[in-house]
Amino acid sequence: MYIKTPEMIYPFSPDLVRRLNPDVSFPSELSDETLAEYGVFAVYETVKPEGEIVAEGLPELVNGEWLQTWTVSEFSVAQRKAMVAARRYQEETKGTTVNGMPVDTDRQSQALITGAALAATIDPDYVCRWKTRGGFIALDAAAIIAVATAVRNHVQGCFDREAELIAAIEEETYTSDMIDEGWPV
């Protein structure tokens, strides 16, 4: 990478020197000395630091060399909470397995399961044909209530984990790797 001074255009390339100076006959390889005559200098890479938000900044001149710089900042409390809520929603709606049967847990599926569970509660002899990814199956009232209970436990587990993470954010004990841990399966 290169920087063009004094305009501080970054990133810049040696090819741009050629294009901006069409009346100059340049050698096939532009040396650092030639580039310097046109205010273009190599920028030396530095180690990217750790942090939640890391962005490359404008290079800085240090001891005669242009060095890559970085800005590191942390997410705000509101941003962290929003990230946790988005992750909870993702985990909540990705589905679960009940007695070996994959069950969708998106919001529409939760509503359908709740309706079936209500019918099963009202009528213990209720049987429905439930559409799964593999086709239709017959579910009796006990099976419907088992599915509804498992889905409710999955969803509640996701909200419980979100609450734990929000508490950690507010107590300032939250670390960014915590968002990947502790979610129900």
pLDDT confidence of residue 132: 87
Q: Do residues 74 and 97 lie in contact, with contact meaning Cβ atoms separated by under 8 Å?
A: no
Element housing 9 (H / E): strand 9-12
Using the predicted structure, report yes or no on whether residue 174 has a pLDDT greater than 90. Answer: yes
**What residues contact residue 120 under an 8 Å CB cut-off, 6+ apart?**
126, 140, 141, 142, 144, 145, 148
The DSSP secondary-structure symbol of 164 reads: H
Q: Report the predicted TM-score, pTM, of the whole model to 2 decimal places.
A: 0.69
Mean pLDDT of 171-182: 95
pLDDT confidence of residue 107: 97
pLDDT confidence of residue 170: 97
**What are the tens digits of pLDDT across the range 126-171?**
999 999 888 999 999 999 999 999 999 999 999 999 999 999 999 9
Chain centre distance of CA 50: 17
- The residue among 90, 119, 86, 129 whose CA lies nearest residue 106 is 90
pLDDT confidence of residue 177: 92
pLDDT confidence of residue 185: 84
